[in-house]
Structure 1
Amino acid sequence: MKKITIMTLIFVLTLSMFALPAGAVGNGPNYNGNETIKGERLTSNEDLLADVQRAAERSDNIEVEIIGQSVKGRDIPLVKFGNNPDNPTILFLTQQHGNEVMITEGALNVIKGLSNNNKHNRELAEAVNVFFVPRLNPDGAVGDVNFDLSDHVAGGIATRTNANNVDLNRDHNTLAEPETYALHHNVLRAYDIDYLVDFHHQGARSGIDGKLVSGSILYPTNEGVDPEVVEMSKQLGSVMYDAVEKRGFGLLGKYNGGSANTIARNGLAYEYDIATLLFEMRGMIDHSNPNQVLGQKSNGYLIQQAVISMEAAINAIADASINEADITFWDELEVQRFMGEEETE
């Protein structure tokens, strides 16, 4: 792992457009069977590519690289803010599952913030590399798949798996799908990644102490992962947990996850010695099970939670405060219980 130059940086992203009252997260509306869930306000694949290219054109520090194509031939971008091999690198991975979309909207907002050529961002680029794969599953994101989605509650506007009906987060060993092959060969093996946050959405009915959570987190739990990598993963989780909790509207639990290396949280930490954190947001945009779907009125707070947590991780790595993060909170963090049906990463 690289040594991190200690710098005191202030990195402020504009969040006013997502401002919400305290207590909003965790208690947002559930899908009740009568609500129309629309995808028009979400970023399309075409707009996503245009947005990240626009950010690259605007910024002196952002580059966009196409790392591969999906089953249906859609481009998969890698967005790179800074690319100094002497600096630590964090990768935000979103939308392995096509129906988990608000994390991608959050990532796009962070990318937009980083595209400003202001003093803060110039200093940031001198201290840390920030990479994004903002949509690994573009086919599933628009429901363009080779199987029937008529059982999905929102009409199949998005689905979990790729066009071949393969769960990409179960393909990190075989790399049989073009999306995971591109991620491993053109990102994870091409760059020296120190930290990775694997963002997902879980079902809408998980809670702790009888309260619905806004999300959950977990570090690698496979016994083969280097203990130093596990500790760094816990530090990453500490930083992101504190950032959400301090804002007063989030409630995070501990994800009840397994130890299999086929999933990113364990497999990438084991294979590449990357400090890896799973961060699950509440609810999905579409699913065959209504308990997994969250009402679209909750979109704003989920995007804000994504932005806050990403911002915190970037800052902590840039100024090296992540190395002092208190990981003892993990011992007390309550494992969420399923008030509906069990989620899977």
Structure 2
Amino acid sequence: MSKKILTVSLASAMAFGALATAAIPVGAVGNGPNYNGNESIRTSMLITYDEMVDYLKKQEKMQEALELEVIGQTVKGRDIYLAKYISNPANPTILFLTQQHGNEQLATEGALEFIKHLGTGKTKGVLENVNVLIVPMQNADGAMGDVNFSTENYVADGGRHLTRTNANNFDLNREHDKEVSSMQPEAYALHKNVLEKYDIDYLIDLHHQGTQSEINGKYVSGSILYPTNSSINPEVVENSKKLGAVVYHEIESKGWGHLGKYNGGTGLNIGRNGIAERYDIATLLFEMRGMSDHSYEPYVLGQKSNGYLIKQSIATLDSTVRAIADGSIESVDTSFWEILPFQTNRIAEEEEGE
């Protein structure tokens, strides 16, 4: 299988600055979702775990409102970080979770840029009315390719491979129906030291899917879905739909965004369902187009799409934080869910996501 070379970096993401609220032309952020993106991919240009830690610690020193917490360790002993903005425990709280799957990194790059964004004057007053929690790299071992199984068939080039599963080859997004004490270390840390510890109202679980999903003959930039297990509190489901509505209206307004409905399962082992059922937290799955690495080449997206995907992450985080802070999430129009098409796959391969 041919190697690919990825040429995006956190540094390139930083060039966007705090652009989350401004619509920009497709050409400024890449070629948009209808681009095939089959050029080279080099993972060495993606931020590493150590670089992420350095970045977070520098931001903590620069931002009075930011506090870092180590919530646990990965299988290989890497600290798992939680970035916290808690001005008032009584405020509504949203948690953003990235890289349950280690090969889905552009959402993490966007989350790190958003943390920088929260330290600027552009969000003045917002953090007084909403608490923000961010786990920017839950599966750090997978993100670094430091795993107990072979990655020789993975597609990307660049010195390291990124794997979906953790070092023990467990899918962390299939852990959420277990007893907490029986979970893999990364999932245990999330449940024990975040979900059980903080009073969380909303959660967005950011993932990447394959490259071939489409609606109306056009590749999607991503897909979204609320919890779908029948045992979940209907009020939680409705609040999840509101969270999705904020994201949908924000991304579709940009001109380069194109979202479909994700074909997700109903199992409680999936975070979208299990977390909603166990903690009564409104949850939204956001699957962005294309992975950073995989053993199956069509799942991996090339460099020219990275700009808008990172931008899409920033816009998602920014719009939901603002909507919760000003209360507009309560009156957002959710009727689009009734007509939003399920995405379909352009090629005859099962899409790996969630």
Measured after TM superposition, the shift of residue 122 of structure 1 is 4.3
Shift of 1:19: 5.0
Q: The residue matched to 2:286 in structure 1 has which SS? A: strand
Q: Tell me the amino acid that sits aligned with residue 322 of structure 1.
A: I
**Which residue identity is paired with 1:239?**
V
Separation of aligned partners in 2, 1:301 and 1:244: 11
1:232-311 pair list within 5 angstroms: 232-311=239-318
User: Secondary structure at 2:203's aligned position in 1?
Assistant: strand
Match of 1:133 among 129, 135, 138: 135
Q: How much has 1:82 moved relative to structure 2? A: 2.2
Letter in 2 for 1:166: F
In 2, the alpha carbon distance for the partners of 1:145 and 1:61 equals: 35
C-alpha spacing 1:303/1:37, structure 2 compared with 1 (3 Å) = same
**One of 221, 227, 232 as aligned partner of 1:225:** 232
* Secondary structure of 2:334 counterpart: coil
What is the one-letter code of the residue matched to 2:172? L
Q: Secondary structure at the match of 2:43?
A: coil
Cα distance change of structure 1 residues 16 and 172 upon mapping to structure 2, 3 Å threshold = closer
Of 73, 89, 95, which residue of structure 2 is paired with 1:91? 95
Letter of the 2:228 partner, please give it: T
Report the Cα offset of residue 80 of structure 1: 0.5
Q: 1:16, 1:297 → 2: CA distance?
A: 22
Contact 1:220–1:265 (CA under 8 A) maintained in structure 2: yes
Shift of 1:21: 2.1
Q: CA deviation at 1:14?
A: 3.4
Runs of 5+ unmatched residues, structure 1: 1-11
Query: What whole-Å deviation, never above 9, does each CA across 1:274-298 have from its counterpart, x for those lacking one?
Result: 0000000000011011111101221
What aligned pairs does 1:90-109 form with structure 2 within 5 A after superposition? 90-109=94-113
Question: Which residue identity is paired with 1:140?
Answer: G
- Pick closer, same or farther for the CA change 1:51–1:25 going to 2, 3 Å: same
In 2, are the aligned partners of 1:208 and 1:335 still within 8 Å (CA)? yes
Partner of 1:180: 187
Please name the residue that 1:6 is paired with: none
What is the distance in 2 between the residues matched to 1:154 and 1:299? Answer: 15
SS of equivalent residue, structure 1 residue 40: helix
Q: Kindly state the Cα deviation for residue 15 of structure 1 after the two structures are TM-superposed.
A: 5.2
Aligned equivalents of 1:161 and 1:244: distance in 2?
A: 29
**The 10-residue stretch of structure 1 (333-342 or 14-23) with the greater mean CA deviation from structure 2:** 14-23
Q: Deviations over 1:232-286 (max 9, x none)?
A: 0000000001000001101000001110000110000000000000000000011
Amino acid at match of 2:119: S
Contact kept, 8 Å, 1:195 with 1:233, in 2: the verdict is: yes
> How far apart, CA to CA, are the structure 2 residues paired with 1:282 and 1:121?
28
For 2:23 and 2:162, the matched residues in 1 are separated by 24
The answer to whether the aligner puts 1:206 opposite 2:213 as a matched pair is: yes
| Percent identity for Structure 1 against Structure 2 | 53
Match of residue 41, structure 1, among 38, 45, 59: 45
TM-aligned CA deviation for residue 41 of structure 1 = 2.1
Specify whether residues 162 and 321 from structure 1 end up closer, same or farther in structure 2 by C-alpha distance, changes over 3 A only: same
Give the superposition deviation at 1:83: 4.3
Deviation of 1:100 after TM superposition, in Å, equals: 0.2
Aligned-pair RMSD on alpha carbons? 1.8
Which stretch has the larger CA shift, 167-176 or 56-65?
Answer: 167-176
Where does residue 71 of structure 1 map in the other structure? Answer: 75
Q: Separation in 2 of the partners of 1:135 and 1:240?
A: 21
Q: 2:26 aligns with which of 11, 21, 35?
A: 21
- Size of the aligned set, in residue pairs, is 329
Structure 2 residue runs without a partner (length 5+) = 1-16
- 8 Å contact kept, 1:255–1:335: yes
